[in-house]
Structures are given as C-alpha cells and as structure tokens.
Structure 1
Amino acid sequence: MAASGNGFSKADQLDSSSCSPSPPSDCAFSSSQSSCTSNALDPRPYISSPLENGNMKHHLKGDVGVNAINGQMEATKVESQSWVGIYESFLMKNASQIASVESTLQHLTYLFPAKFKDAEIASEVVYSALGILGLYHDTILARALSSCPSSAKYQPSLHARYTRHFTTHSSAYRTIAYVLVVIQKTELLIEIMSRRHAGQRGQRTAILGIEGVKAACRLALLRISGTRTLVTPPIPERDIDPKILDHDDPITLAGAAEEDGDYWLMPRTRQKMPQLKGETDATRFLMKKVLLPDDVAPAPKLIRPLSTVDSRIKEILYILRPVVYALLALLAARLRASKQFKGQYEKIFINWMPWVIGFALEYVCRDGIIDNLSTEGGIRAALTKITGLEKRELEKRSNSMWWWTLRGQFYDSITKPILDKIIKKAENIPLLNLVGLYIADYQYLVETYHFSTSTL
C-alpha cells in the first residue's frame, strides 16, 4: 500500500513537474512550457510600452485637435460654398427674369417718399442694396457667359469691350472702379443718414467728403487708363440678354433676333431669308452683317488718349467740377448764415454763384474729346474721326446738362414755380392729382439732398 501510494504520488509529481513554474533547467522544459501555453489566448489588448514611443500621446492629441479644426473649417467652407452655389444655380435657372425683377423692385422704391415715417431711409436702403446686388449678378452672368456654348454669337457693346479690357488687365483699375460705383449707389443713403444724425452741417461735410473721394477715384482711373476720357460707368454694363443663359429657354441672341419676323424658305438651299417690308428693315438687316471699324479695333483704341494740354485740363476740370460745386454751395450757405451781406444784389450773387460756376465748368469742359481731335482740320474733322464710344460718352455728357434745371438757385427761381403751378392745376383733376402728389413727394428730395440730382 505504501509502495503503491508512493508510486502514485511520484507519478503525480512527475506530471505536475512538467508544467511547474520552477526555473528552466534545459531545452526540454522550454519546449514543454511552450506546448502548455500555446493553446491559451491572452484576452488583454496589446498596449505598447511608453518607452517604445514616448511622444505618441502628445502626437495623437495634437493630430486629433488639428484634424478636428480642419474638419470644422472644411465643413464651414463646403456649407458656404453650397449656399453660394445654390443661389448661383437658382440665378442661372431664372436668368431671364433677373432684369425684370430688379427693375420692378427699384421702381417700387419710388412710391416710398413722404408716405410714412423714415420712408426715405427705407426706400434708399432698398435701392442701394438692389444696386449692389445687381453688380454681383453682373459678375455671375459674365462668368456664365464665358462658359456658355452660344457665347461665340454674343457681340458685346463698345462700352463693355472697353471697360472689360481694363478691368481684366489691371487689378488697380478694377478695384478703384468698383469702389467708385459702390459709392455712387450708396451716396444718397449716406447723405440722408448724415443729415438725420448730424444736421445740415454734417450733411454738407458728408457731401464734400464723398465728392472728394469720387474725384480722387476718377483721377486715379484717368491715370491708369493712359489719360483717356473717362466713361460712365467705369465698369461693364449688363448688355446681354439673360435668356441666352436660361436652361429652360435656350435662345441665342442671334436666334432671338431672327425669330421676330417672317421668313421665306429658299427652294434649293433651304436657307431662310427674312421678309423685309421696308427700307428701314433692310438697313437694319444689312448693318447686322457688316463689320464697322470699331468692331475690329482693339479695345484700348476705342477711346484715344488725350494728347493736347487743353484736352487734359478740360478732363481734369470736368472731374473736379462736383467738388468745386460742393465747395461753393458750402461757402454760399455759410455766407447766408453770417448775415453780413444784406443787399439785394449781394444776396443774388451769393445764391447764383455755385450754380453759374458749376454749370459753366461742366458746359465748357465736357467736350475735351473734340479739342483732342480738332488739332488738325478743326471741329468738323474731329467729328469725322470720333469713335462710336467717344460719341456715346459725349452725348451722355450733353444730356446730363438737363439735370442743372433741378439744382441750386435755378431750381428755386425757375423750375420750382413751374412745378408748383402744374401741381396746383392738377390737384382737382382725377388721376392727374396722383401725378401731382408724386411730383410733390420728389420735390422734397430735390430741395433737400444734393445727391438726388447728381450725375457724376
């Protein structure tokens, strides 16, 4: 019993010794130990030692923070781009209604003045916002037109060709020109706000400051353009038919022009020929097929540089004329307030001085283009050499002279009595009395604000 017991215990000891945690004595034990532990999987995850990568925690924390910030910035950028893209795609799908909607909203602002409190501020805010929004729409339409398949048939106007050349080739011209246009669209609003918060003195200061900034911008444009006569406006106008960009109504400019009349189909070539009913239609049709010298001339040559001293002086004085008029109006207001000049002739001189000098400057200096071309052959030869764009600008300057009837002492002495008589006679006539009320509302703007009749 003892032997068997001892033998059993020895066998158990031998069996247990093969897997005992005693230190290894030979290779046989190591192999047996590996055989014992090979089937057991460690449930704990592998964790690297800090000695292997001591800065890993720091790097992980920094990378996660940077990635999170970059992710937020990219998400914000994508979101902003998506909103802009949605608006531009909506604009392109409804391109044919852009001009009509903008025009309708701008004309609705004409119904605001004197109808309710702060109506002039509300109407001018809407008008200025629509003007600036129209500039953004013009850039979208121009960019879409460049990638439009039918853009090859688009023929830009002379003004668009000329201004687009300088806005694309000179970043300084583009920046100054857009700053000038934005000021022109917000100048009346700034004057109204300055009068509301600082009185007439603040209004006159604002007028003089705005006119000074505008004159500085125009002088810079005159320098950048190579001393060429400035055009109005200095940026490209919207001269395209938005229907050309409408996906639902893809009508090209040429196609839209050709579908207006009846056509005769030629039997052999099957070519459409227009049915011309009169001499005017024939002239209009032939002029579309003819290239004029201005159509093939480079954009900078559409307006020649002012080479003579007289023409340059006239152009500079034409640019400075609004500043001179604002300064004289401010001087006349201070002289009237001082009450030092009590004589009738002195009062007449003070009241008429700004209007007479401003009108004379604009009348004399508006035709510097003619002086530049009349060095050889006189004025008749200059009229034959004038380009289409120069003629357009000269006509625009001549037509703007009519605005002097609504300025200064001329308005107070001549125009206002005539308008008052018209309003008084129309106030008892149905429908015409509404026109009289409309004129009376805008008399307040003309009499109160300088920029309501500004043209430059």
Structure 2
Amino acid sequence: MAASGDGISKSDQLDSSPSSPSPASDCAFSSSQSSYMSNAPDPRPDIPSPLENGSMKHHVNGDSGVNGINGQMKATKVGSRSWVGIYESFLMKNASQIASVESTLQHLTYLFPAKFKDAEIASEVVYSALGILGLYHDTILARALSSCPSSAKYQPSLHTRYTRHFTTRNSAYRTIAYMLVVIQKTELLNEIMSRRHGGQRGQHTAILGIESIKATCRLALLRISGTRTLVTPPIPERDIDPNVLDQDGPITHAEAAEEDGDYWMMPRTGQKMPQLKGETDVTRFLMKKVLLPDDVAPSPKLIRPLTTADGRIKEILYILRPLVYALLALLAARLRASKRFKGHYEKVVINWMPWVVGFALEYVCRDGIIDSLSAEGGIRAALTKITGLEKRELEKRSNSMWWWTLRGQFYDSITKPILDKMIKKAENIPLLNLVGLYITDYQYLAETYHFSTSTL
C-alpha cells in the first residue's frame, strides 16, 4: 500500500511539534547562546539598577546607559559559558565533518595495542570518551535541527521516530536509556581497570555487576515501553544529514537541476520534472513522493506490545541472557580451579556449558515478537504484519549471532586454531603480515576480556 503526492513528506507530523522559521544563522547559535541569555539567571543580582540611584540622570533619555549596563551584563552571561558557545558554534559550522572526524579518531585507537605500555587502557579511554562525546554532539545537532529553517527536509528514520517518542515524553525512559548507553560505552574500560587493580576476582565482580545493572535497565525499559520489543540502541541514532545544517553543503543533482532549469516539462499537465541521471538521485526523489504504512503510523505502533506469554518470556530471557552467560562462565572457571572434575568428559562439559546455554538462549529468544504476532494467524500471518522497525531489530539480533564465534569454548576450540593458521601462513607475505600482527593483538582482548565481544 502506498500513497503519493507532492505535498506529503515522510516527516513525523504526528509526533513532532511545528517550529517557526528562523534565519540561517540561528541554526548555529539558537541552541546555545540565545537560549542561555534568555533563560539564565542574573549572575550579579546584587547590583542595583542605574534607574534607582539616579546615576543615569545626566543622560537625557537614559537609553544609552541602560543599554550599556545591559550589554555588560549580557557579556558577562555569555562569557561565563563562552567555551561552550564557541565549541557549539564551531561544531555547527563544521557539521558535515563531525561523523568523519569521530570515525577517524575511533579507528586510530585500533593502532594502539602492543605499541607501548598500558596501550589497552589508553586506547579504550579514548574510544569511550569519543563515544560519550558523540552523544553530546547528537544532542547539539538535534537542538539545532529543531530551530533550523531547512528542518522541513529532514525525514527521521523509523528508529529515530520510535525512540524519540519515548525519550521526549517519558523522563524515566530517557534517563534509563542514556544511562544504559553510557554503561555500554565504558564497560570494557571498567573491566580492564578492574582486572588491573583487582585481578581475576575483581574482573569477575565487575562483569557480574555491570551485566546486572544492564539487565535491570533493560527490564525497566521493557516495563516503561509497555512490554514492547526493545530496540538497539534505545536512544535516537544520528541519522541527521549534516548537509541540512550546513548552509554551504553540497546539493543533490535533482536540486541542482531544479535551480538551473535542467528539467523536463510534461506535455499534458505542464508539470516540471527534474532530469535525474544517477540511480541514487532517482531513488531519493521517488522516496520523497511515496508514503508507506510505517511512515504515517503513530510512533508507538512502529513496535507493538507483546500480547502473549510466550513472547514476553522470550523477551525477558533475551534480556537476561548476558547475565546468565556471565554467571555460567564464572561457575565454569571456579569448577576448573577446584580440580574436582579431572576426567576428560567432565572437563568438556564444564568448558562448553556457558557457550551452549548462552547461544541457545539468544537463538531461541531473539524473535519473541514473531510468537506474539503468530498467535492470531500463524507464522505466515506474523511475517506479513511485522513492521519495518521490528524487522530491522530482528535482523540486528540475527546478525549479532556471529559474535558467538569469538566467545568461550567455541573460540578456543574452533576459531582460534583457524586464525592461528592464517596468521602463520601470512607471516612471510608483505602487508598481510602486518594485518596478522594486529589480529594477534586483538586475539588477546577476545581471550581475556568479557566485554570485548559483548553485543547487548
């Protein structure tokens, strides 16, 4: 089912509030300096007004003196947060380069391991700091977009519409979701520091503590969202095109064709159609004119509540799976250390138990929404009812199953021997031997730290 029309766009008209147009320069400063100067308290409340002590009597109208005092007070207000305003202004002027710079810096951290002492700590500190800084950049871009005249061109993704609905309307959801994301971005750093200062015992304690907090946060989000399937991440992603905020940014071929007069006029209606040459321009132009059911559906209906007991149990077990896997891994480590099981069969069972249970839980419980929808008309009917956002989340969960090849006994018994053979064959091949060195460095992370292969 599709609808078309020139006056219809895919923007979230049901959940977003209308914004009044503003000049182009307001895009960069409205989110920092202007809002602060209009709402911030007076930093000097004890200074008397010049109109009260008569110090402005020598001015005929008093306007210049009042303006001077007000200007000085405004300068003081701006100066108290000048570094924030300068940073946000610089950020908005270079909006189109934000994502590329962050990605480049994060990839540079891959060069750290084995190059100097405490390299793993330094690289993870930089990586975690860049992740948290990216969240701050997202808030700046979102605020700037809401006051930018070109925001009408912005078409949020289904994930952004859904998560923005809960983060803007429920403060508890917003607080828990952002806390969960911050924990995910710093969990490996906390594990490394715990192992460095507390040994393996401190590492196991940190793993169980972090997984318990994450599971509690996800269960709370499941309750707040009305027992809906949780999305990853639970906050809006950065799907904003920086060129929308960049006034000097590049324009598409279709826009250039409309401005330069490169168009084709329809003979009967006289309507002008741009001359599109590339497949990307054609797809972008058509998607602006076409609406799908998900585009007009209310944001909460992009993911429907789990109505059956099977669907809810599967979602809860999927949320608890990382904690269960961590507990079984700790139990297996203690059983191996106790030396109570000396036989080959007992050792095999102990080593494979965490991996088999964790893999089975994630594989069976990843599609609770299908069980909930199939209660009315079977699996085929469920597949036809599934929304685009639900399908995307199921695909994410299916793709994350590949990470099990780097965990537990499967990695030790199957993946590691294969990687070792590949590295050994590439030792005498130029360039490939360098790749082998970096793979060896990160093998150490996969073998030593739990959160280096964590996906939830």
Q: TM-score, normalised by structure 2?
A: 0.80
- Report the residue type matching 2:196 in the other structure: R
For the residues of structure 2 that align with 1:430 and 1:260, how far apart are their CA atoms? 46
Correspondence list, 1:375-386, <5 A = 375-386=375-386
Correspondence list, 1:22-421, <5 A = 67=46, 78-249=78-249, 255-256=251-252, 258=254, 264-266=263-265, 269=270, 271-275=272-276, 285-421=285-421
Gap change, CA 1:451 and 1:260, over 3 Å in 2: farther
**Bigger CA radius of gyration:** 1
For the residues of structure 2 that align with 1:260 and 1:334, how far apart are their CA atoms? 67
Gap change, CA 1:257 and 1:324, over 3 Å in 2: farther
**Deviation digits for residues 386-417 of structure 1 (CA, Å, limit 9, x no counterpart):** 00000000000000000000000000000000
Q: Secondary structure at the match of 2:231?
A: coil
Q: Secondary structure at the match of 2:164?
A: helix
| Partner in structure 1 of residue 58 of structure 2 | none
Residues 93 and 248 in structure 1, CA contact (< 8 A), matched pair in contact too = no
Gap change, CA 1:370 and 1:66, over 3 Å in 2: closer
- Report the residue type matching 1:113 in the other structure: P
Q: 1:240 Cα deviation (Å)?
A: 1.0
Q: 1:80 Cα deviation (Å)?
A: 3.5
Gap change, CA 1:414 and 1:369, over 3 Å in 2: same
Q: 1:289 Cα deviation (Å)?
A: 1.6
Gap change, CA 1:328 and 1:260, over 3 Å in 2: farther
For the residues of structure 2 that align with 1:204 and 1:333, how far apart are their CA atoms? 10
Q: Secondary structure at the match of 1:239?
A: coil
Residues 355 and 409 in structure 1, CA contact (< 8 A), matched pair in contact too = yes
Q: 1:419 Cα deviation (Å)?
A: 0.2
For the residues of structure 2 that align with 1:294 and 1:333, how far apart are their CA atoms? 48
Q: 1:246 Cα deviation (Å)?
A: 1.6
| Partner in structure 1 of residue 430 of structure 2 | 430
**Deviation digits for residues 292-335 of structure 1 (CA, Å, limit 9, x no counterpart):** 00000000000000010000000000000000000000000000
Tell me the number of residue pairs that the alignment of Structure 1 and Structure 2 aligns. 386
Q: 1:79 Cα deviation (Å)?
A: 3.1
Residues 208 and 323 in structure 1, CA contact (< 8 A), matched pair in contact too = yes
Gap change, CA 1:75 and 1:210, over 3 Å in 2: farther
- Report the residue type matching 2:46 in the other structure: N
| Partner in structure 2 of residue 60 of structure 1 | none
For the residues of structure 2 that align with 1:192 and 1:207, how far apart are their CA atoms? 10
Residues 92 and 247 in structure 1, CA contact (< 8 A), matched pair in contact too = no
For the residues of structure 2 that align with 1:380 and 1:410, how far apart are their CA atoms? 34
- Report the residue type matching 1:266 in the other structure: M
For the residues of structure 2 that align with 1:74 and 1:87, how far apart are their CA atoms? 19
Q: Secondary structure at the match of 1:85?
A: helix
Residues 426 and 433 in structure 1, CA contact (< 8 A), matched pair in contact too = yes
What percentage of residue pairs aligned between the two structures are identical? 84
For the residues of structure 2 that align with 1:82 and 1:316, how far apart are their CA atoms? 47
Q: 1:256 Cα deviation (Å)?
A: 3.0
For the residues of structure 1 that align with 2:228 and 2:424, how far apart are their CA atoms? 48
For the residues of structure 2 that align with 1:388 and 1:310, how far apart are their CA atoms? 22
Q: Secondary structure at the match of 2:274?
A: strand
Q: Secondary structure at the match of 1:188?
A: helix
Residues 332 and 354 in structure 2, CA contact (< 8 A), matched pair in contact too = yes
Gap change, CA 1:277 and 1:75, over 3 Å in 2: closer
Deviates more, 1:267-276 or 1:194-203: 267-276
Gap change, CA 1:327 and 1:76, over 3 Å in 2: farther
Deviates more, 1:376-385 or 1:208-217: 376-385
Q: CA RMSD in A?
A: 2.5
Deviates more, 1:79-88 or 1:189-198: 79-88
